[in-house]
Amino acid sequence: MMSFDDFWTIYEEAFPPDERRDIEAQLKIMEREEYYLKTFYGENGLVGFITYWDLGKILFIEHLAIEKSQRGGGYGGKMMKELMESFKEYYFLLEVEPPTDEISKKRIKFYEKLGFQLNAFDYLQPSYGNGKDPVEMKLMSYPKLIGLGEEKEVVEKIYLGVYQIS
């Protein structure tokens, strides 16, 4: 059984403040029926997690994180493949930082190995709350790129479903 504290420790360590909720907002969002937290365990406890939203045939992966000492062990790929296998009929979306440094380029390559594609259009991740800035991001999608002219509709679906803004 996962303790919220174990999840929160990994979550806070893995994401900068502008790319995550504060604890009150996180606890509130976990009550939403379309929000899911999938945890993964190894011999020594919680290895990592994926949080995602079921937006009706679109699965929006919000956060994927591996406990610091477990990184590089293939857990992230295994976790993603398991999720993708469970939702074969879904279209997958996720946000990544633009490829401007080694870490962001490595992250994009990780998702590309799983079949995701980097969409060319600009995307702004809305603010996660008071005192948090919106973040320039890119959207990656699987199994194909977001169709020409569909960008606005897809972004609106994310903004409304995940960030509750229109």
Q: Which residues pair with 152 in a beta bridge?
A: none
Mapped onto helix, strand or coil, the DSSP state of residue 33 is coil
Is the pTM of the predicted complex or chain greater than 0.85?
yes
The three-state secondary structure class of 150 is coil
pLDDT reading at 65 higher than 90: yes
User: Is the preceding omega at residue 126 within 30 degrees of 0, hence cis?
Assistant: no
Q: Which of 126, 123, 127 is nearest to 154 (CA)?
A: 123
Question: pLDDT tens-digit profile of 5-24?
Answer: 999 999 999 999 999 999 99
79/156 Cα distance (integer angstroms): 27
The 10s digit of each residue's pLDDT in 74-113 is 999 999 999 999 999 999 999 999 999 999 999 999 999 9
Query: What is the enclosing helix (H) or strand (E) of 60?
Result: strand 58-66
